[in-house]
Structures are given as C-alpha cells and as structure tokens.
Structure 1
C-alpha cells in the first residue's frame, strides 16, 4: 500500500527518537509518518500487528525510519520499558465506548483509564530519565475537546482525557528546568475509525438515525462543520516538537473548529 505524505512546514528532527502509541491507524499513523518525514527514528507502538505491518509496507523514502513495536498498553511495565531512550513521546492510544453511566460496564471504565491515563504516566516515567539527562525532550499528549468539555454518554473517555490534560501540566512544571516541554493537542472529531465506530452507539444513545449523528451530535457545537483530518493533528504535533515551540509548555492546543469558543 503506497502512502502519500502531505506538503508540510519544514521541521528537522534528525537524530531524534520518537515513540508514538496507537500508531497503526488514524491520528497515531499520521503522527508516526509525519515525525519520520521530519527525520526522526519512530517507534510505532500498537497492539494490532497486522495494521503495524501495513504501516511499514510500501512507504515512500523517508528521512527518518519506522520501527513497528507490537505492545498492549495494558501491560504497564512493558509500556514503561519501551519508552526508555526516547526524545519525543506522543501519547495517542485510546479506546471509546458510548453508553449512559448506569449501563456503562465498570470493567471497560477501568480499561479506558488504564490505557489513556495510567499508560501515558508509565510511558512518561520511562522516557524522562533520558530526556532529563540530555536536557531536551518533547511530550505531546493527544487529548480531545473532551479534555476541555464534557458530553453525555462518554463518562470514561471524558474522565480519561481530563486526567491526561492534568498529567500533561504536571509534566510541564516538573520538566521545565530540564528542557522538557509537555503539551496537549485537543482536537474535535477526527476522521478516524474510532470516530466512525461511534456512530451506531451515538444513534442508539440519542435515539436518532445513524445518518443524523454527524450533523446533530458530533458537529452540533463546532463552528466549522467538518471533521478534522489526521494529518492536521500530526502537523500540530510536529510544531510542538520544533525549536520554534520551545516556550510552549503546559498548554492545550484546541483544534475543535470553534467548539470551545461557545
């Protein structure tokens, strides 16, 4: 499968090692490709071995490289270990379930927080010694507009993203004296399989037809009536790794089409 890379602003990450979680598809895939295009050696982490193989197959020549790494982030010890020696950490992996609280399975709630809050903490814990040692590091957490706002029927996801936003700020405060920045990128609905899989659940939860979910639910609060593209999110991630963003830390970059302007 041939993957075309979009025209982007020049960012030079030659000599840097980046780790991207959830790298087999959607935002994670776009981030892995973007950072490799900038010259980084990218550890592409995902539990989906087949999709990781597809990511690495048929790529155009890149200044950097992609190293597929099959890993289930619920194995927290393994997550921490795999982050050792990384200069750039992109915490992207996430899962979603849309249900009213009284119908939300407790075990799924726990798993969402494990993957989307505990795993990022452990990954950062594994990455920081190297970052501190060299006096440079970039942590970019893929949050969501749901890290800034809440929606019904997403108790686990909203809780996890709010937690990730808080963790990111603590990393920023602790890392400042060591040359490490930490920021969130917080998009609205992105054109990914994760979003597409929500449509049936959203239709059931809201009692509407599936074809109305996009306009009546997902984009109802967005001034810009379209989905965000994964490449747009990846470009924001690349910017936060660039020298020009070295004074940006502890921030949340909203890419929500005006949702939080209300």
Structure 2
C-alpha cells in the first residue's frame, strides 16, 4: 500500500477498540505514527499499540486523558506536540446513554456532552493552529447518524452529535483557505455511521435478541428493519477506510461534510 502518510502523526481518541482501533490501524498502515488514547489499563493500552504496529504503523504510543476534563486534554495535547504534533486528529471517543428526556439527569447530560462534544472542541482548538502552520491537517470527527436525524430516548447523545457536526462545519470554514493542493490543505469532516458492529450497541442488540428468544441474528434484523434499509450493519474496518481516504492528499477539497454510512437510513 502507498505510504502517503509517512512522516505524519495521527491522534485517534478512543482507539483501544472498535471503530477507533480500526481507524488507527488503517492510518498506521499508510505510514502514520499513531497516538493512541482510550479507557485502558496498561495491558490493554500495550495490546492496542502492539496491534496497531503489527498493522504497519511505524510507531504507536499511548496517551492518557479524561475527555471530561479540559486540563487533562491540554496535557495530552502538549505531550503529543512534544512527540511531533498531530497532523491528523480523529475524534472518536464517545459514550451513549439511552434515557427518556424527562429522566435524563444533569449528570447524564453533562457527561455525554463533555465527552462527545466538548472533548472534540478542546482537541480541535489545540491541534488546528499547528496544522494551519504546516499547510496540512485532517480533522475527522466520528459523529453518528444521530448527528443528522433524531431518535427517541437519546436526547443528550443526539444533542452532542448534532453539535459535533455544527462545530466541524465552523472549523472547516475557518481553515478552508489554509495550505494548498501541494501541501494538502486543512479539512474538517464528520463521518456519521449508522448501525455498526461495536460494543456500544451490545445492550440494544441483547435487548432486541431477548424479544426473539435469545436469537441474536433475529434481534439484529429487527433493529435494522426499523432504521437501516440495507439490512446490513457496517464493520469498523469499513468506517476506517473512509477515514483513510479523507486523510489522503486527493481529499484536499472535501471539507465541512457530514458523510452518512448508514445503509440509506437518512435517505428516508
């Protein structure tokens, strides 16, 4: 594979599993050093780094930060700056809490918004100026289909993802004229997955399976029938390939978008 990210460094938040890990592997395969982040003990962090290096990354190093705490994000970004700085920033860390609006406590609201939206704001405000100085930078925010359409019982999550899409559009406009075709320019985009095979969906899959006598596949089919016309989930690797393409020089003029990968969900 072409090593078009050789010499670049990518920070992927929430990259010890799922979509984040798949993206880290894909970017590493193209030659990028990977700053790994997530909720992980030392063994889990080391395992993720080893997997990413085995996929082809020249180096993978774990950086710790609580995405609810701006001070720890600032410390992480400073440490990454000393390591070389993030040429590519993938904000993937996120949580979901399913609850009716009337039962969503201030604590639930604050936590979901802090991790899903404010955390991305802090990494972006600290990374983008250096990207502009270099003439190349990619911010890829993993939003959700719920950054484009709503669902019941997900008010904090939907609000955070709609906010992430809006934040990304503003940043895209502010940095659109930095760099050029030769340097790669600065782009800011969102990927908006629909149903994707990740651990965050396990509670919903299990609940749906329980309604079908424990049949997991039947439960998944029922979930997808309600929303995703293709009837197929996406795999994390498929989301990763889109993130990889968005990082390529050829994508220099694609910015400010929110790209659904949802089997037709938002087309309805």
TM-score, with structure 2 as normaliser? 0.87
Aligned length: 251
Q: Secondary structure at the match of 1:186?
A: strand
**Does the aligned pair in 2 maintain the 1:81–1:126 contact within 8 Å?**
no
Runs in 1 of length 4+ with deviation above 6 angstroms? none
Structure 2 residue runs without a partner (length 5+)? 179-184
- Structure 1 residues 253 and 193, CA, compared in 2 at 3 Å: closer, same or farther? same
1:207-235 CA distance string (max 9 Å, x none) = 95575652333442212112110000000
Quote the residue 1:55 is aligned against: 48
The answer to which of 190-199 and 62-71 deviates more is 62-71
Quote the residue 1:239 is aligned against: 245
- Picking from 165, 184, 187, the partner of 1:181 is 187
Quote the residue 1:5 is aligned against: none
**Does the aligned pair in 2 maintain the 1:30–1:230 contact within 8 Å?**
yes
Q: Secondary structure at the match of 2:227?
A: coil
Structure 1 residue runs without a partner (length 5+)? 1-8
- Structure 1 residues 219 and 41, CA, compared in 2 at 3 Å: closer, same or farther? farther
CA distance in 2, matches of 1:218, 1:157: 19
Structure 2 counterparts to residues 1-262 of structure 1, below 5 A: 10=2, 12-49=4-41, 50-57=43-50, 59-60=53-54, 62-83=56-77, 84=81, 85-178=85-178, 179-200=185-206, 203=208, 208=211, 211=216, 213-262=219-268
CA distance in 1, matches of 2:127, 2:22: 22
**Does the aligned pair in 2 maintain the 1:80–1:125 contact within 8 Å?**
no
**Does the aligned pair in 1 maintain the 2:2–2:30 contact within 8 Å?**
yes
TM-score, with structure 1 as normaliser? 0.89
